Amino acid sequence: MFNKKVILTLLLSLIFAVIIALVTDNKMDDENYKALFVHKVFTTEKYNLVIAGDSRVYRGVSAEIIGKKLNLKALNLGFSSGGHSKLLFDLIDKHLDKKSPNKIIILGITPVSLTDRAANNGHIKRVLNRKKEEVLEYEYLFPVKLFFAPTTPYKIRKKLSNKKYNDYRQEFNINDGWIASWYDSPIPYRALKSYKSQFTKTTVNKKLIQNLYKKVSEWKTEGITVYGFFPPSSANMNELEKNLSGFDNKKFINGFLNAGGCWINIEKHYFSFDGSHLEKESAIRLSNEIADKIAADKVIKKYNPNIKINDIYKPANYVYKKDINSPSKIKLFGINKQEIALFKENLKKAKQKNIKKITIETFVFYKDSITGAKLACKIKNSKAEINTDYSTVPNRRCKLYLTLNFPENYSKNDSLEIFLKNPENKEFYIDSLKIYYISK
């Protein structure tokens, strides 16, 4: 007969284990991440609608939202550094229900997705190389695995005390392939450095673009409607890609349309939490915009050069704008000027008009090969500061662009300062400064 103390200990241990399972965050990101991509690659289900691309697609588009609006079964086939090449095309063909009368493919096009590195599709290959038992575990037994996932005293303490140990948040929608992502405190320049590094090593491959056009034509002959769009990002990222990637937006769209595809013009303004990917609420709004335009047939069937493609450079909802035009190409000497003040004022008017964001743009030109100008913005007293994290290109007039969410607690007595950082003390030119105060 069991000792009463042993029985009591076992009972208390069981109760404690159940409490841990309920109060701790066992839905670990790495486990959810694996399960989500295993499902994308190995699911045997068929879909009427497939959305494909790189991480801006799998973090920025909800297949469930689009599918519900269009009454179609949908899957997000976005992958990290996903490239528009044969491996991704084969996966689309595998999951698309070719017998369905309504067959739609939506391709999110980014310059990175058309480079040789992306075309290798290393993420897809890593998932394909998973062992059979792992695939079975993540595809069919994942809910059980998740419940009994290991935890640590630190995670328990964190959960019980409700303290944030990491302000990066993710919500995994495993069935539709979307990962809703955000920072509690956005870092809009975080991703720029890695993208700049990529484009110093590789550029857009024209052969990949031609192969993509060819595949779009093949899909069209099979009765599949293929849409393309540029996943919106930050204005800083758009400028970086424009300056370094060698990608021609207008030329690409013309080729896409000539191949038989349809183009979706993204019109609304969206917010990126790291300079590349859309935060959760923006991803939801983007998914609704895509679905609404397809449903209402408001897709660009024929390219018009007067239509602005993915024009997020001019915020649509601003209350007032300051245009401080300095004389063209004012010459500034960088010696002993690591920070050059451009603008300063108090926020009394901004507070009265309930301003939520501010967007700033200016142009710089360096002759020197070593450059380092960064546009910066500071709201005093509220201790909010943010700056771009990529350098300009030598011998080219480059736009620096910066968007900042005003802190919720800012006051009319706070002041806004805009300045350029010039850490290399190099000589450069600056031209024009525009400030948009955005109400929503």
Q: What's the average pLDDT block by block, 10 residues per block, for the chain (440 residues)?
A: 61 61 56 91 95 97 95 96 96 95 94 94 95 83 57 48 62 94 84 84 91 96 94 88 87 92 88 92 95 75 43 46 51 51 82 83 72 72 50 66 78 82 71 76
Give the other-Cβ count within 10 Å of 322's Cβ: 12
Judge contact between 269 and 44, C-beta under 8 A: no
Judge contact between 278 and 234, C-beta under 8 A: no
Q: Report the candidate in 36, 29, 17 with the shortest Cα–Cα distance to residue 148.
A: 17
Judge contact between 373 and 399, C-beta under 8 A: no
3-state secondary structure of 145: helix
Burial of 75 (0-12, 13-18, 19+ CB in 10 A): buried
**Residue-level pLDDT at 318:** 57
Instruction: Quote the Cα angle for 387-390-395, to 5°.
Output: 125
3-state secondary structure of 308: coil
Query: Max Cα separation, the chain?
Result: 94
**How far is it, in rounded angstroms, from Cα 310 to Cα 230?**
7
**Residue-level pLDDT at 164:** 45
**How far is it, in rounded angstroms, from Cα 25 to Cα 154?**
11
**Residue-level pLDDT at 125:** 96
Alpha carbon separation from 346 to 61, 234, 341, 430 (Å, rounded): 38, 26, 15, 24
**Residue-level pLDDT at 316:** 44
**Residue-level pLDDT at 144:** 52
What single string gives the DSSP state of each residue in 172-204?
EETTTTEEEEEESS--TTTTHHHHHHHHHH--B
**Residue-level pLDDT at 37:** 95
**Residue-level pLDDT at 83:** 96
**Residue-level pLDDT at 102:** 86
Judge contact between 85 and 208, C-beta under 8 A: yes
**How far is it, in rounded angstroms, from Cα 92 to Cα 112?**
19
Structure tokens at 156: 């328990």
3-state secondary structure of 132: helix
Judge contact between 34 and 139, C-beta under 8 A: no
**Residue-level pLDDT at 381:** 58
Domains of the chain: 13-295 (3.40.50.1110), 318-438 (2.60.120.1310)
What single string gives the DSSP state of each residue in 390-414?
-PPPTTS-EEEEEEEEPPTT--TT-
Judge contact between 38 and 127, C-beta under 8 A: yes
- pTM reported for the whole predicted model: 0.67
Structure tokens at 410: 């800012």
**Residue-level pLDDT at 236:** 84
